[in-house]
Amino acid sequence: MNWTVNFFEIFAVAVGCAGLILSFVTYRSLVARTSGNEKMLEIAAAIREGSFAYLKAQALYLIPFVGIVFLLLTFSKLGFETAVAYLMGTVFSLAAGFIGMDAATHANVRTAQAASENKASEALEVAFEGGSVMGLAVASLGILGMIILFFFYGAPGSETPIIGFGMGASSIALFARVGGGIYTKAADVGADLVGKIEANIPEDDPRNPGVIADNVGDNVGDVAGMGADIFESYIACIIGALALGATASADVLMRLTAYDGDQSNMTNYRIWLMLTPIMIAVLGTIASFVAIKAMKLLSSGDPGAALRKVGIIAPAIFMVLLFGYLVVTPVNTNLWICALVGTLAGIGIGAVTEYYTGSKPVFQIIEGAKTGPATGIISGIALGFQSVAAPILMIAAATFFSFHFGGFYGSALAGISMLATVGITMTIDAYGPIADNAGGISEMAGLGKETRAITDKLDQLGNTTAAIGKGFAIGSAGLAALSLFGAYVETFEAHGHKIELSLTDPAVIVGIFIGATLPGLIVAFTMRSVGRAAGQMVTEIRRQFREIPGLLEGLPGVKPEVARCVEISTKAALSEMRLPGIVAIATPVLVGFLFGAKALGGLLLGVTVVGMVIGIFMSNAGGAWDNAKKFIEQGMVEGEKKGGDLHRAAVVGDTVGDPCKDTCGPSLNILIKLVSMISLLIAPLLAG
């Protein structure tokens, strides 16, 4: 049996390496494309320079934090190996963001160039190609990180360092998502409020000093930040199942594998359950390879239809490959049903998200905005809460059926399967900010209305794909949290301490209340941070319009001081991301050691349920507010156009939705898994 496990380990390494190679080849093909005129290259260079300046500053800012956690882990009972794995998780997470942003800042100007040549299908292909560099890198780095650690710590009872890897990815993801979200929304909200509403100038107008910072923010928030977010979701799902496999009892093994009750073989079958989640990621990555290549054949048609098709092709191929894997291994083929349930739930969540953020319901917001910004915002809040019901019910159904067929482990596989094709999911998600940047470059370089029409269509679709990506992330977060919760309970049992989490136990109730409070606190911190930073941006843009002669009039040779706006966003993001991160990391540790293991179990339940509801609401409401504005700008509302009263009301709604969908909502997705990961990591200490 061992030689077969070794074969799959080697196969996983080969797929991970192949993915990185294909990512690099795609990157080289991307940069070889025509990049536009001198003005376009100047704008793109400013966006690229600002993006990397922020990411480097963020990485340096996080070094002391990472160093402190590394030392704490080293000198705790968890040990040096867990600390090294934690450090490895932080490095891989940062690398995923750097790779994706590098590609995105090359793809944006090339997408704009293709649009300027009236090649809509090529513009779609370029933006998709730029996103695929990150999609392949995220999937491949996740596989390589997990399989390397599995090689050294894949024996049941020695898996704690692998959990450390997940904690490293989670902690960086929270800081990257919160910091990037604050950066991008401070610039976006400030530029929109002063530019579109007060000065009545177009979006991305070169006279607006906040525009470059806004475009930089798209990259640091929606590319690098989202990359770290999805990478962390991917890893958390795998680790949840792996930890459950490591502690599987004889009864569980007989239910999920070909185990016959011989205790001498128990370890071997546990290893198979630990390996399977990694192999699901491997097979999903292979399916993503095929889907990415299929896009070249589909890009000539409708962009939305093309992206939907590749989003279906990858899961279909994955399910076929997974069935083959289960047939040739001692793992029970009934687990295929768990994977199918998770895959269908992911597709369903994506469809519901697309419906609420990119189709008929958006016109409810537009109708509300006809009587002013307040009623438009009220309509968006109602739509956002309504959109929560279907995804939550789908996650509940996936939990029920996967648990029925495979227990906690089956639910964990459902969560992994939802993100198994992360290569294509991340590709489609990263496509959005690339298209958005292309529109900004088109406007600032004066490429004309025809070009902007193409980029606007791609950008509107990008809003929906970004919302779908957030839906996948929050859906998988729920199933990942359930698997990590199961692993948390089983860790105590493995240490000889059975833990009962009864709703009549006051310790559990205390934990639930604290956990339910935590998402609200994180939303408050991040929303207030965006508000403060946006206020500074508004003040600075107003100052420049007032004090720089000829700027607002667009006189030749007069340029805004864009560096000042970039500096405001950078400083705000770096300073404001500390408090949410510290609270999220410290709370489970304090609750666990002050109130005990039962209270910490209750906290996991509270933060998961409340975090999912608020996270889905914010992501979908924000996406719908954004598209309501874009529907008006694209002439989809009869008798309305840019600059009118309805458009201005929709812009106000969009500025409210911006921090919801790009800062607060995504931070809750990470919060759910970070709290679960930390709880699982300290469970052996609490048990001892």
**Could you report the per-residue pLDDT of 234-244, keeping only the tens digit for each?**
888 888 888 88
Residues in the chain: 688
Which residue segment(s) compose the domain that 180 sits in? 2-687
Q: 3-state SS of the chain: helix, strand, coil percent to 5?
A: 85, 0, 15
Whole-angstrom distance, CA of residue 76 vs CA of residue 50:
39
Is it the case that residue 464 has pLDDT exceeding 70?
no
Q: Residue 443: phi, psi to the nearest 5? A: -70, -45
Cβ-in-10-Å burial (0-12, 13-18, 19+) of 511 comes to: buried
Stretch (H or E) spanning 361: none
254, with CB counted inside 10 A (0-12, 13-18, 19+), is: middle
- Total domain count for the chain? 1
Burial of 200 per CB tally in 10 Å (0-12, 13-18, 19+): exposed
Cβ partners under 8 Å of residue 152, min gap 6:
161
145: helix, coil or strand? helix
At residue 463 the predicted structure's pLDDT band, cuts being 50, 70 and 90, is: low
**643 Rama sector, left if φ>0, alpha if ψ -120 to 50, beta otherwise:** left
331 phi/psi in degrees, rounded to 5: -80, 135
- Percentage, residues of the chain above pLDDT 70: 97
Average pLDDT, the chain: 87
Residue 472's nearest CA partner among 659, 168, 237, 664 is 237
State pLDDT tens for residues 550-590: 888 888 888 888 888 888 888 888 888 788 888 888 999 99
**Could you give the CA distance from residue 572 to residue 674 in angstroms, rounded to a whole number?**
23
Strand partners, 331: 257
**pLDDT for residue 119:** 84
Round to whole Å and give the CA distance between 125 and 113: 12
Instruction: Give the mean pLDDT of 615-643.
Output: 86
SS3 257: strand
How far is it, in rounded angstroms, from Cα 6 to Cα 4? 5
State the pLDDT at residue 449: 84
The span from the CA of 331 to the CA of 254, in Å, is 10
* Residues 268-314: tens digit of each pLDDT: 899 999 999 999 999 999 999 998 888 877 766 677 777 778 888 99
Residue of higher predicted confidence among 301 and 433: 433
Could you tell me the CA-to-CA distances from 520 to 508, 525, 671 in Å, in that order? 19, 9, 11
- Neighbouring residues of 519: CB distance < 8 A, sequence distance ≥ 6: 607, 610, 611, 614, 615, 668, 671
In a 3-state reduction of DSSP, which class is residue 248? Answer: coil
The full DSSP string for 540-551 is HHHHHHHHSTTT
**pTM recorded for the entire structure:** 0.86
Q: Quote the pLDDT of residue 1.
A: 44
Mean pLDDT within 395-407: 90
pLDDT tens digit sequence for 338-372: 999 999 998 888 888 888 988 889 999 999 999 99
Furthest-apart CA pair in the chain: how many Å? 85
pLDDT higher than 50, residue 215 = yes
For residue 3, what pLDDT is reported? 54
Q: What percent of the chain has pLDDT over 90?
A: 31
pLDDT digits (tens, 9 = 90+) for 79-128: 899 999 999 999 999 898 889 889 999 999 999 999 998 888 888 889 88
Going by pLDDT thresholds of 50, 70 and 90, the confidence category of residue 676 is confident
> Do 667 and 177 form a contact (C-beta atoms < 8 A)?
yes
What contacts 379, CB < 8 A, 6 or more positions away?
364, 365, 367, 368, 369
Tell me what the mean pLDDT of segment 135-147 comes to: 92
